[in-house]
Each structure stands twice: as structure tokens, then as C-alpha cells.
Amino acid sequence: MHPLIDVPSLVRTRGGVALLDVRWRLGGPPGIEAYRRGHLPGAVFIDLDRDLAAPPGAGGRHPLPDAPAFQKAMRRAGVRQDDLVVVYDDADATAAARAWWTLRYFGHERVRVLDGGYHAWVDAGQPVTTEVPEAEEGDFIARPGHLPLLDADGALAVAKDGVLLDARAPERYRGEVEPVDPVAGHIPGAVNAPTHGNVGVDGRFLPAGLLRERFAGLGATDAAEVGAYCGSGVTAAHEILALTIAGVPAALYAGSWSDWITDPTHQVETSD
């Protein structure tokens, strides 16, 4: 199944569909505020910090939730094992990609990201509502391991022998600024590939061919071992989604930089 769905295709979709609103901003405001002002009819709000991550700790700022917690959150949102799940946010699909990746990792096979998100829906003249639906309890069973996952040692190995993409902004990659984490820089050997290069000005993903060209220019092809990380595993999921569209298999370092720097023996690089 292609990981994206556009507005016309979503409108035409019939049958069971779980719509998940995953609006989120690093540092706030909380996405629930935007959800309450208006959302797609039938959409259930998912809190990235609460539902798509475990509490911050040794595993980073957004470590993966354990299977029972994630299953409970998705069932509460009405996610069923065999129904289509469509996720969206109101930016460039950064938060939606985290939901897409996490659902796929835990074994849901029918997950798609609304390309262009909430704004694409509104721009197409489709209705929004402030009514909060009462989702029927889902039956999703969370089984981890359906997508490749890296730990710190695995990320370093990919950086040495394959291509490890750093999805953060160039100035954070170079260690010139670090607004979130206590240490600046990047994993030695990583290649910078900011996620803003995956989308156009409208927040929609570039065509698959252009994404393939972009990643091939960085050495990331289906002939290489490819991984991705960011600050805490959120924007890196966006990178994995773009790579998937491009036809390039890739593994996510979920703990990312915020996990890497918890080990004082890990080296830090600050040059290009």
C-alpha cells in the first residue's frame, strides 16, 4: 500500500476508516487546541507525546511506547486491525509520519498519511467540524518489529558502512546551535538531509522520482544500508516516509540524538 493518500481519494473512500488527527509542535502549543477549533469529521485526536511515545528518559525525548500502552491508545482511538487508518497534521506531515511509522512498526498494514494534511483538506473545500466523535473501541493488536529499528550501536554501524541520514536543520547538524538538547553536533559519519527538502511549499511530498534523485545524491539508494535519525525520532520518521515513497528501505534510530548523547563515550562531530 502506498503510504500517502490525497484529499479526493480520501473523500471517495468507503468502508471502515479510522481518522487520526496528530497535530503537534515541538515546544507547543498543544495540538489539541487546534483540533478543538476544527478537524476532519470523525477524526480522533492523538497526542504525540502521550500516545506515540513513552515518557522521556534514557531512551531519549520521544522513546517508542511499549506495545501494551500503544495498543491501548490506538484501541481507544478506534483503530481496528483490518480497517484503513489515515493520519494527518497541519504542517508537512512530520507528526503524521511518526504516527504512520509507529503503527506500521507495531504491525498495522493499512496506514496512509493525508498528503498536505489539514490545510489540503480545507483548501479543497471539504467540511470541518468541532464535534468530538465517540470512537468505538478498536481491536488493534500491537506486535513490534514490523519495520527496521536501530539502536545507538546500529546507527553508528550504518554511518560507517552505509548511509545514516540526519534529518535536522543544517545548523543543528553542524553543531552551531542546539535549541533543545544539551549537546550540539551529530553522529560521526552521518549525512545531513533536512526534512524540509522532502516537501514542496504546500507541505505535500515531492514526487517519488525527485525524492529518489535527492536521496541518491546523498548516497541513499536501495543498494545501500540506510538509516535515519533526528533530535528525538519524530522528524526522522518523516525521512523514513520520504525514503519509502522513493523506494529506498531504511531503518529508524528512534532514540536519535537525544538518546545518543546520554552515553558520554559516544563521539560527537561538529563539521560537515
Beta strands in the chain (DSSP E): 4-5, 17-21, 44-45, 84-88, 111-114, 149-150, 163-166, 191-192, 226-229, 251-253
Q: What is the DSSP letter of 115?
A: T
Closest Cα to residue 228, out of 164, 147, 152, 132? Answer: 164
* Bridge partners (DSSP) listed for residue 84: 17
24: nearest Cα among 57, 60, 59, 49: 49
Which position among 158, 230, 248, 250 bears the catalytic label?
Answer: 230
User: Rounded CA gap, 202 and 206, in Å?
Assistant: 10
Distance CA 231, CA 166 (A): 9
Q: Count Cβ atoms within 10 A of the Cβ of residue 252 and give its class: 0-12 exposed, 13-18 middle, 19 or more buried.
A: buried
Query: Alpha helix locations (H) across 116-234?
Result: 117-123, 152-161, 170-173, 208-217
Would you call 230 a catalytic residue per the annotation?
yes
CA-to-CA separations, 139 to 10, 21, 66, 144, in angstroms, rounded: 22, 19, 17, 16
Residue reference for cell 540526519: 166
Active site residues: 230
